[in-house]
Amino acid sequence: MTPHISLQAPFVLSSGSRQLLFSPLAPAKPPPAGAQLKKSSVSETYPTKLSKPEKEIVEKLRSDDTTTLNIADTNISVEGAKAIAEALKTNQTLIALYMENNNISAEGAEAIAGALKRNQTLTTLDIKDNSISTEGAKAIADALKTNKTLTSLTMYHNKISDEGAKAIAEAVKTNQTLTSISMSYNNILVEGAKAIADALKTNQTLITLDIHGNNISAEGVEVITDALKTNQTLTTLNIENNNISAEGAKAVAEALKTNETLTTLSVSCNNISAEGTKGIAVALKTNKTLTTLDIGQNNISDEGAKAIAEAVKTNETLITLSMSRNNISAEGTKTIAEALKRNQTLRTLTMYHNKISDEGAKAIAEALKTNQTLTSLTMYDYNISDEGAKALAKALKTNRILTTLDIGSNNISAEGAKAIAEALTTNQILIILDLRGNKISDEGAKAIAEALKTNRTLRTLTMYHNNISVEGAEAVAKAVKKNKVCKLSY
């Protein structure tokens, strides 16, 4: 298929299944009469080496009328990367460049790095899911030492080892503009973590650091968290899936006791267990800055849940808490529910893939009757049946704050759906309801449809995988059409 550029903003270059997105600037004024501004065409400069999409990209960069360029999944060759880099050296308008999944090698990264030394407009560079390797990372690091515009750099999944991480860390010590770095899913181990930690002690601009999916272990996280005791700028740290264990979690906890800048922390998927969770819970009782915490998939069990619940009772800053996939039962959930009755800040609670059963659901429902802050609750795959659904439905009749409820993939049948439907006739707050993956059948679907005749606040309803036939589906579709506010999510 011949690539084509749409003349309507944003520009779209289509080639087969690919789409290259361009965000244009306002039309430039024409040059004065007689001005000699002719440039050689891309075809003249690169007569045979570049593919047609690559030539289109380079031409766009040379025209200086694009601020955002997304060329993900475009199969850019080494020569293509070099040509793009050459155009970047003189481009004066591009702010964001996205080059995801293009099999760019170290050689291509070196060319891009060369452009960063001269380019004076680019603020965002995303080269995730390529193969730039350690050598490519070193080249980019060298560019960061002199570049004065780049603020966000994403190098997710690029086969970067400790040596590449060390080079980036060394550059961060002197770079004065970079605020966000992502080096997730590379091959960074303890030595790379130590270099990053050393950089954090002196860097004064970095706000976001994402190194999840490496293997820095407890030893690596200990040095990074030690740096957090003196670092005064970092607000977001993602170290999930790094095998930090309970020992690493204890180091995180110690840092949280004194750190006064971190607002978002993800330690999910780290096997921190109940032991590590207890340390973090203790820190939450005194920490005054953390607003978002993800400790999902850590096998914290009921014991860990109880510790977090105790902290939530008095913590005055936490807004978002994720405890998914943690082997928490009804017992642990009851303690969380009790905490919700006292907590006055938490707005989002995510606890999917735990087995709390109806007993736990009833406890949460009871808390919803008095809680005045929670707006989003996710209880996906909770082993909830009709009894739990009925308890939640009853709470919805009086709750005046919850806007999002996800109870998908449970064991709710028509009876539970009817109770939810009845609540929808009086509830005027809920905006998003997810019932997917239950067993509500046509009978439950018709009850929901009937409720939509009077409910005028629900905007998104998800109901697929529910043993609903054409008859039930048509009833819901008809109700949604008449409702005019609610939309079905598929």
Could you state, in order of their start, the residue ranges of all structural domains in the chain? 51-214, 375-489
Three-class SS state of 387: helix
**318-320-321-325 Cα dihedral, nearest 10 degrees:** -170
**Quick check: 92 and 120 in contact, CB under 8 A?**
yes
Specify burial of residue 334 (Cβ count, 10 A radius: 0-12, 13-18, 19+).
Answer: buried
Indicate the DSSP class of residue 331.
Answer: H
pLDDT at 12: 47
Residue numbers of the chain with a pLDDT score lower than 70:
1-48, 490
Distance (Å, whole) CA 103 – CA 105: 6
pLDDT at 385: 98
Domain at 375-489: CATH code: 3.80.10.10
pLDDT at 480: 95
Matching CATH topology for 51-214 and 375-489? yes
Fold of 51-214: 3.80.10
pLDDT at 19: 52
Q: Report CA-CA distances (Å) from 459 to 421, 424, 431, 456, 488.
A: 15, 12, 5, 8, 8
pLDDT at 35: 46
